[in-house]
Amino acid sequence: MTPASHNSTAIIRTERGLTIANTRITLYDVMDYVKAHYPPAFIRGLFNLTPEQMTAALAYIDAHRDAVEAEYQTVLQEAEELRHYYEAQNRALIDRLATAPPQPEMAIAWAKLKAQKAAHQAMHESP
């Protein structure tokens, strides 16, 4: 792990990218919520960050906005490519599993599930 800048060790570069030191939280994780306009206190609580870690992350993002944004876009693109790849890889398996009858040892569980589903639908259909 190496510091992302020589005067700040709060944000480091790891094999995962720009990361908040002593965590597995990347700046890209934080950026998802910053871009969605979540308040910093919510983001801090979500990732269990200290106030100092959150401040350092937001300060780094602000100070290096263009570079962080470019890396963030790359991460989003790679994630989308992976999603498409695994969807294609698993499509046949998912189709087969969706049409397969329940396994005999799961018959009781399936019967309970169907009964609960019917009760739930009846509750929402009645006035």
- What's the CA gap between 120 and 122, in Å, rounded? 5
Q: Is the pLDDT of residue 57 over 50?
A: yes
**Confidence class for position 127, pLDDT limits 50, 70, 90:** low
Provide the mean pLDDT of the chain.
90
Global confidence as pTM: 0.66
The answer on pLDDT for 7 being more than 50 is no
In the predicted model, what is the mean pLDDT of residues 14-31? Answer: 95
pLDDT of residue 70: 96
Q: Where are the alpha helices (DSSP H) in 48-106?
A: 51-63, 65-99
What lies within 8 Å, CB to CB, of 57 at 6+ separation is 10, 11, 20, 27, 30, 49
Q: What is the gyration radius of the CA atoms in the chain, in angstroms?
A: 23
